[in-house]
Amino acid sequence: MADSTKTIEMEVLRYRPEQDKEPFWQTFSVPFTDDWSVLQGLQYIKDDLDSTLSFRWSCRMAICGSCGMMIDGVPKLGCRTFLRHYHPNKLRIGPLENFPIERDLVVVIEDFIKKLESIKPYIIPKEARTLAQGEYLQTPAQLEKFRQFSTCINCMLCYSACPQYGLDPEFTGPGVLALMHRYNADSRDGGRAERMDLGHSEEGFWGCTAVTYCSEVCPKGVDPANAINQNKMGSAIDYFLRFVAPRGAGK
């Protein structure tokens, strides 16, 4: 390794379900250079120090959303967080908060996937078009209404940042609700009514108390807190309109 190699202490939360009653911290001394990410540090541990360490990763460039973890208590992507920012102090790496630990840094994400599926995260065309009729057209202004919310990579950092999800797992949570808004706000989409029974509920937009930490930790600038809270006004109008007009008039 180059002369500029330094060494950092990485404390990793370990949990091996077949032998550990509860998680414990294990410290590794990791040599690194300035361009090393936390993910590279973990890969060094797995390759050279302890091959039993488990963690998820894939793309190494903040697009697959696999390597979300708690780094010194803050939800971050391991691939876009650099060891040099923590040196000469040690750093602590744990699995994403608010999710059960499957093994080491791997968390159980079934609940998130189930919720993601439940909001129909795809365009339900407003009007059926044949191939001969051509593509669905959209203006740049219509695109801007949802573009920001469509950059979500499902990394679940926002779920780890959301105390409401931690306290009540029934809450649909920031990332998925932001995606619900993303499709509802798309001019080509006609699926709003199908999604909004959940949106209007306590498990939907109203489960959010605007802690807004989700938007702070999002690595893609999605701003889930804005996606969720801008729906509350419309949701309240929809609630009161039911007394004077048939259900759905406010949608």
Partner 1 sequence: MSTQTDKRRPYVRSVDGWWKRDPYYMRYMAMEATSVLVAAYAVILLVGLARLSQGEAAYNGWLEALKSGPSIALHAVILVVFLYHLWSWFKVMPKTMPMIFVDGKKLPPETITYTGVTLAVVVNVIVLIILV
Candidate residues 3, 4, 18, 243; the one interacting with partner 1 per rule CB under 8 A = 18
Q: Does 237 bind partner 1 (CB under 8 A)?
A: no
Q: Tokens 């690595």: give the residue.
A: 219
Q: How far is the CB of 128 from partner 1 (least distance, A)?
A: 29
Residues 118, 116, 204: CA angle, nearest 5 degrees: 70
Q: How far is the CB of 77 from partner 1 (least distance, A)?
A: 17
Q: Does 15 bind partner 1 (CB under 8 A)?
A: yes
Q: How many residues bind partner 1 (CB under 8 A)?
A: 34
Beta bridge partners of 68: 77
User: What does DSSP assign to residue 165?
Assistant: H
Q: Does 215 bind partner 1 (CB under 8 A)?
A: yes
> What's the CA gap between 56 and 50, in Å, rounded?
16
Q: How far is the CB of 228 from partner 1 (least distance, A)?
A: 8
Q: Does 178 bind partner 1 (CB under 8 A)?
A: no
Q: Tokens 């009729």: give the residue.
A: 133
Q: How far is the CB of 239 from partner 1 (least distance, A)?
A: 17
Which stretch in 30-38, 80-88, 189-197, 223-231 sits in contact with partner 1 by CB under 8 A? 223-231
Candidate residues 49, 85, 100, 239; the one interacting with partner 1 per rule CB under 8 A = 100
Query: What is the per-residue binding string for partner 1 in 121-150, x denoting contact by CB under 8 A?
Result: -------------------xx--xx--x--
> Cβ closer to partner 1: 59 or 108?
108
Query: Do 16 and 31 touch, CB atoms closer than 8 A?
Result: no
Long-range CB pairs of 26-35, under 8 A, 24+ apart, other chains included: 26/50, 27/90, 30/83, 31/1, 31/5, 31/6, 31/7, 32/5, 32/6, 32/7, 32/8, 32/83, 32/84, 32/87, 33/1, 33/2, 33/4, 33/5, 33/6, 34/4, 34/82, 34/84, 35/82
Count other Cβ atoms within 10 Å, centred on residue 94: 23
Q: Does 216 bind partner 1 (CB under 8 A)?
A: yes
Query: Do 66 and 58 touch, CB atoms closer than 8 A?
Result: yes
Which stretch in 36-44, 45-53, 195-203, 225-233 sits in contact with partner 1 by CB under 8 A? 225-233
- Give the binding site for partner 1 (CB under 8 A): 15, 17-18, 22-23, 73-74, 97-98, 100-102, 108, 140-141, 144-145, 148, 163, 166-167, 210-213, 215-216, 223, 225-226, 229-230, 232-233
